[in-house]
């Protein structure tokens, strides 16, 4: 009576399978490198929009004028109060020191920045103000991915409602509407 033998593979068959697996993995990695920047720019644009909403909320809750500056030379977004609070002395109050900072991602470049209809020039900080009544400077920020400059997002905030929107690509400032959307979310 013969014992059943285990099926075995030849060296050529094993090498062929390894080559197929290697090619499949290399294609998957190449594809992932082209997809990741899209996720990164979407995440960073969402983070910037959240920062704008946070600044507006802080101004309303604190009952103070808040200034948000994006300073790319320092690589950060800085929060300042532009008026003294009830517990602060108006004579010694200074708005030169930020009360909070948030780092600016090195994966994102600020391509264009409009405050109102004014284009902010390249090396100047982008300065936005938020008032306790809930209104703010109309802001439009166009950001692009540092490695894939064709990936852009436009972040804007409605100055009356605080509604932030993120759109693909660059949106001209002439298209900005100062209307309150009927039934829109804040």
Alpha helix segments (H runs only) across the chain? 11-62
First to last CA, the chain: 81
pTM over 0.85: no
At 4, give phi and psi (nearest 5°).
-65, 140
Q: Domains in the chain, ordered, with CATH?
A: 13-61+107-175 (3.55.40)
- 58-100 pLDDT tens trace: 999 988 899 999 988 888 999 998 887 777 777 777 778 888 8
pLDDT at residue 38 is higher than 80? yes
- Residue pair 169/144 in contact (Cβ under 8 Å)? The answer is no
Work out the pLDDT band at 4, boundaries 50, 70, 90: low
């Amino acid at each position: 009576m013969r014992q059943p033998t285990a099926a075995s593979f030849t060296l050529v068959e094993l090498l062929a399978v390894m080559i197929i697996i290697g090619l499949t993995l290399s294609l998957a990695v190449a594809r992932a490198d082209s997809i990741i920047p899209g996720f990164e720019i979407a995440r960073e644009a969402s983070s910037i929009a959240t920062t704008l909403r946070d600044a507006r909320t802080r101004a309303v809750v604190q009952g103070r004028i808040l200034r948000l500056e994006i300073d790319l030379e320092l690589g950060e977004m800085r929060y300042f109060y532009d008026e003294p609070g009830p517990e602060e002395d108006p004579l010694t109050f200074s708005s030169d020191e930020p009360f909070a900072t948030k780092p600016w991602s090195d994966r994102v470049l600020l391509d264009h920045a409009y405050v109102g209809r004014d284009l902010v020039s390249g090396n100047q900080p982008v300065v936005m103000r938020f008032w306790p009544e809930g209104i703010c400077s109309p802001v439009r920020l166009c950001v692009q991915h540092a490695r894939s400059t064709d990936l852009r997002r436009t972040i804007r905030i409605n100055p009356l409602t605080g509604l932030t929107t993120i759109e693909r690509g660059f949106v001209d400032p002439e298209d900005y509407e100062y209307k309150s959307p009927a039934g829109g979310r804040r």
